[in-house]
Structure 1
Amino acid sequence: MTTNRGRKALMLALSVAAVAGAALTGGGAAPASAASPAGLDWGACDPAVKPLPGQQCATLSVPLDYARPDGDRIRLAVARLPSTRPGARRGTLMVIPGGPGSSGVQRLGQKGAALAKETDGAYDLVAFDPRGVGGSTKARCGFAEEDRRLVTLRSWPAADGGIGENAARSRRMAEACARNGGATLRGLTTANQVRDLEQLRQALGERKLSAWSVSYGTYVAAVYAQKFPERTDRWVLDSSSDPDPKRVARGWLAGMARGAEDRFPDFAAWAADPDRAGEGLRLAERPEDVRPLFLDLAARLDRAPRASTTPGAPLTGTVLRQALQQALYSDASFPAFARLVSQALDPAGVPVLPPELAGPMPDEAATVSVGVICNDVDWPASAPAYEKAVAADRERYPLTAGMPANITPCAFWKGGAVEKPTRITDRGPSNVLMIQNLRDPSTPHSMGLRMRAAFGDRARLVSVDKGGHGVYLGNGNACGDRAVTRFLTEGVRPAEDVLCR
């Protein structure tokens, strides 16, 4: 997954194959001999991936282009944490990360121990690095350093709302990808990640898979469940967004404006709590005063940026807004953001930027984040239309200042979408459990409801009265954790949608 900061940064919030054993594209099914992968040769993991005790690693060879299964192949990094209770083992649980651009191998390292404890030996836990990520084959667009900074990869408008610079940068980045990306870049799609997952299932020798997917990974999981319903066992979608095939990632990005509004009151209440005074982090006496304080500070930094401890990287209004977006993902990030605000408010203070905002991300991380969203679906190409949308979004959602509606390299993407996106439907087994925070800054609850509606009776939804992005084993809500664990270990879901207070 390259660096963690690169993956998290471009988390534009949240994830085709055919019948089992066949590789699909518009070109049809591949011969079984070409499509069927060999088994996996498990061995010790590279210490660089920081493996858990007992973790094993392997590589999986898959077609670069499933329309040409006898052509070039690429390698995917795979990791496994075997069950420690073989007698209790019931199958394999896939850990499907977010992004686009997050590492499954790293996610397994982060959550594997807790997940193994919760499931008590019921599964081998398996994850892989998607194409372009971590230990898997990568693509490179050759972006300029200034185009690989988080505040430029995210299309934040100018202080006056103008998008001219965003449009020029987006065109430049799309042209770089067209020159340098080649077939490896064009292979970075959700559809291929789903095909790769099916190849991994075959290599594992499993008749069915269970899964815990998060954020963008829920879209990957939803598409897999649509294309391979008979290969799904117990399927968990954690923090979903709208699977609308006409918009896909464009809709996910737009949803972040609503998500920030839903989530900000949690930070405001925290930052006005008297307990913060002793920590030097109380920003206001009342929660309702925190929002105008933030908006005023961002506007002042637009006019007069402050030098930070990172040479050549000042604290601007845009950097402050992006830092807020990241802080809203987890309550654990509130102190660092409040400290940044305090430093900016202090005339003698020198702001310390979050590490992910202090420099550019690697080219490979930027490439996969842009590549997947642009390859998955066609985006509008009219700059004036984006300009109009940004103006409306800025007025309605000032915390995000029009960024979620702005132009991206996808507006200039050569060749457009690689293939038609998948529509998620209610046709298939009723074996999906969704879980969603009520106040999620990246995949807002209102967008998760659209995934729920698409699945119909195939799914049940557990809504959790918490804020942040990511629920299971992540926000300390015992009710939500219990619902997912019971489903994975006992196969029991709530009879109907429920709310965990």
Structure 2
Amino acid sequence: MLSAGWDRSDPADSMIPMRIRTRRTLVLALSVSATATTLTAVTGPAASATATPSSLASPALTWRPCERPDGPAGQECAELPVPLDYTAPDGPQLTLSVSRLRSEDPEARRGTLLVIPGGPGGSGVRRLTQRGEALRRELGGTYDLVGLDPRGTGGSTRASCGLAAEDRHLVTLRSWPAPDGDITENVARSRRVAEACAANGGAVLRGLTTANEVRDIERFRQALGEERLSAHGVSYGTYVGAVYAQKYPRRTDRWVLDSNDDPDPRRVARGWLANMARGAEDRFPDFAAFAADPAQEESGLRLAERPEDVRPLFLSLAAELDRAPRETTTKGVPLTGNRLRQAMQTALYGDDAFDDLARLIRQARDPRATPVLPPDVAGPLSDEEAAVIMAVVCNDVRWPTSVGAHRRAVAESRARYPLTAGMPVNITPCSFWKDRPAEEPTRITDDGPSNILMVQNRRDPATPYSGALNLRSALGDRARLVTVESGGHGMYLAHGNACGDRAVTAFLRTGQRPERDVTCPDD
């Protein structure tokens, strides 16, 4: 649902959720493990805030080689057992897929760095496979690099809601209103999905929370035998990282939060999703500049003479497709106005997706062409992917239930932010979720060591700059913020900004951090 789910992709790799590669809009990526365990028959309460992993004996990890042709040399994998419910540590156990790349220079090694993926639903094992070589080159032998697949994702124990395929498309998991702004169908689908998850998800689904991911990370630290961890968290991973740093401040070493979520404990993911309306508006001018650049003329991707003409062209085309969807090369899946809007919203994650969006717009405007849908809007997610996207954001905090309030919010958002047409504030299955959150969201504060470096693109479509400023304010002197004057989601080693990359690398390698918040130009 985000990145934030609603961040559906890995930015470098959420509502949230990045080259946003095949199915680039998913924060979900298959782990290196070929199979995943699904456990839905277990019953029992969700973990409460009173339980911690500290009283559990540290599990042993049995590492095995798991190199892939497209991955880094020397990658190893293991399985980490964790309690389904930390208040019943001797009860049913889940299995988490974990992975590591050992330092190639033992004399230079100073510790272990955890990569925390976006999402909810991102795979840390897959992210390590994709980014491990780049991190090795940048960081030398400073760290062992490790990642884990959070419960519900990749090769870890997974859950299922038993959803019909039509309810598992990204364009339906995200509640895009009808062409006239009506949300009746969104209400019916949200209720249907919530009921299916309540009937079929079981205790595993109820245990998919940020709080449990944080506990699982602490369990992983113990199994690794490390006194402290360093980390690089991206998108939703910044919220996970911030909560870990709040719960276990003395277990953090050098902590990097990249593309930051607003930590408002009253809203959590609901706020992240709502923020995406502003994020699309901030970022769209970058695409407009691309689509009006004379350099795109030869490839046929120039859409307008001037950047200011691209936005009305896009809005007009989306409205036209609302009235008359186009057949596509994907049988039974037409290009609707909302599919175009979803393709736009996710293409804004990285400049290297602009050509795909421009090509889709060009095809949609050509009556002789048959549009080719990007993978993220062409087919459904798996049932397990859809389940984890929803479960974490619905289990973390209570969502408003008033249908009337959602109708009013959608109408206001459509007028103010027409690019996203009311989707970010529309009703979701969380409004009909059957179980109350087991615990209150963590309030992020300035109580803890000053060892956090935040890095943030100014024009981020998924985790907008305003939300990052709220996290920066909450952390106080614990953090420094590096603002990068560029667009896109995910900064470090993702969009080629040398200034921002240098700041993160210097901090992770030497501990040197700017004395105050700094800004990097777009280069």
Equivalence for 2:8: 8
Output the CA distance in 1 between the equivalents of 2:276 and 2:53. 43
Output the CA distance in 2 between the equivalents of 1:32 and 1:45. 29
Equivalence for 1:344: 364
Task: Write the letter of the residue equivalent to 1:12.
Answer: M
> Residues 450 and 478 of structure 2 are in contact (CA less than 8 Å); yes or no, is this contact kept in structure 1?
yes
Q: Give 1:361's match in structure 2, choosing from 381, 385, 389.
A: 381
Q: Give 1:432's match in structure 2, choosing from 448, 452, 456.
A: 452
Structure 1 unaligned regions, length at least 5: 16-23
Equivalence for 1:18: none
Equivalence for 2:276: 256
Equivalence for 1:26: 48
Secondary structure in 2 aligned to 1:461?
A: strand
Output the CA distance in 2 between the equivalents of 1:108 and 1:333. 22
Q: CA deviation at 1:357?
A: 1.2
Q: CA deviation at 1:37?
A: 2.6
Q: 1:284 and 1:31, CA in 2 relative to 1: closer, same or farther beyond 3 A? A: closer
Equivalence for 1:446: 466
Determine if the alignment matches structure 1 residue 372 to structure 2 residue 392.
yes
Q: How does 1:225-374 map to 2 (within 5 A)?
A: 225-374=245-394
Task: Write the letter of the residue equivalent to 1:418.
Answer: A
> Residues 47 and 212 of structure 2 are in contact (CA less than 8 Å); yes or no, is this contact kept in structure 1?
no
Determine if the alignment matches structure 1 residue 172 to structure 2 residue 175.
no
Secondary structure in 1 aligned to 2:73?
A: coil
Q: How does 1:13-412 map to 2 (within 5 A)?
A: 13=16, 25-26=47-48, 28-29=50-51, 35-45=56-66, 47=68, 51-412=71-432
Q: 1:93 and 1:27, CA in 2 relative to 1: closer, same or farther beyond 3 A? A: closer
Output the CA distance in 1 between the equivalents of 2:158 and 2:376. 21
Q: CA deviation at 1:206?
A: 0.2
Q: CA deviation at 1:28?
A: 3.2
> Residues 7 and 365 of structure 1 are in contact (CA less than 8 Å); yes or no, is this contact kept in structure 2?
no
Q: CA deviation at 1:30?
A: 6.3
Q: 1:30 and 1:124, CA in 2 relative to 1: closer, same or farther beyond 3 A? A: closer
Q: What TM-score, normalized by structure 1, do the two folds share?
A: 0.95
> Residues 47 and 438 of structure 2 are in contact (CA less than 8 Å); yes or no, is this contact kept in structure 1?
no
Q: CA deviation at 1:321?
A: 0.1
Q: 1:238 and 1:291, CA in 2 relative to 1: closer, same or farther beyond 3 A? A: same
Q: Percent identity?
A: 65
Equivalence for 2:480: 460
Secondary structure in 1 aligned to 2:453?
A: strand
Q: CA deviation at 1:238?
A: 0.1
Q: 1:31 and 1:346, CA in 2 relative to 1: closer, same or farther beyond 3 A? A: closer
> Residues 9 and 356 of structure 1 are in contact (CA less than 8 Å); yes or no, is this contact kept in structure 2?
no
Secondary structure in 2 aligned to 1:8?
A: coil
Output the CA distance in 2 between the equivalents of 1:493 and 1:253. 31
Q: CA deviation at 1:45?
A: 1.7
Secondary structure in 1 aligned to 2:115?
A: strand
Number of paired residues? 487
Q: CA deviation at 1:419?
A: 1.1
Task: Write the letter of the residue equivalent to 1:378.
Answer: R
Q: CA deviation at 1:44?
A: 1.5
Output the CA distance in 2 between the equivalents of 1:162 and 1:110. 41
Output the CA distance in 1 between the equivalents of 2:333 and 2:300. 25
Task: Write the letter of the residue equivalent to 1:326.
Answer: T
Determine if the alignment matches structure 1 residue 423 to structure 2 residue 423.
no
Output the CA distance in 2 between the equivalents of 1:450 and 1:52. 36
Secondary structure in 2 aligned to 1:58?
A: strand
Output the CA distance in 2 between the equivalents of 1:440 and 1:261. 10
Q: What TM-score, normalized by structure 2, do the two folds share?
A: 0.91
Equivalence for 2:497: 477
> Residues 242 and 444 of structure 2 are in contact (CA less than 8 Å); yes or no, is this contact kept in structure 1?
yes
> Residues 97 and 148 of structure 2 are in contact (CA less than 8 Å); yes or no, is this contact kept in structure 1?
yes
Output the CA distance in 2 between the equivalents of 1:384 and 1:51. 50
Structure 2 unaligned regions, length at least 5: 18-26, 28-45
Output the CA distance in 2 between the equivalents of 1:56 and 1:31. 24
Deviations 1:349-379 (A, max 9, x none): 1100001211111000000000000000000
